[in-house]
Amino acid sequence: MLSFKYLLSSLVDVYTMIIFVYVLMSWIPTKRGILADIDNVLAKICDPYLNLFRKFIPPLGGMVDVSPIVALLVLQFGLRLILMLF
């Protein structure tokens, strides 16, 4: 059971870092070449999860998207809840 907890925790940590990099990459205004390719891959990985929160949380001031913050909090709290149950 310990290895399952470690694996789950590691996967969530990796996904958290992927979302974090995706958010940081959104601050780069023009993406060409390899940066555009990396952004496309990260978008395919992160957008399905982030879109769940974007449906309910509108951008602040029409520009600032806080859904990644909420998504990361839900991901971390969900992990902690699952780890406490097992």
User: Which structural domain, as residue segments, surrounds residue 51?
Assistant: 2-85
Query: Is the predicted pLDDT of residue 53 greater than 90, yes or no?
Result: yes
Number of structural domains the chain divides into: 1
pLDDT given at position 72: 97
Query: Is the predicted pLDDT of residue 2 greater than 80, yes or no?
Result: no
Residue 73 CB neighbours (<10 A): 11
- Contact present, 18 and 45 (Cβ < 8 Å): yes
Nearest to 67 by CA among 79, 49, 42, 80: 49
Can you list the alpha helix ranges (DSSP code H) found in 26-66? 34-54
Q: Give percent of the chain above pLDDT 70.
A: 100
Q: Which of 16-20, 27-31, 54-58, 65-69 has the lowest mean pLDDT?
A: 27-31
Rounded mean pLDDT, 47-76: 92
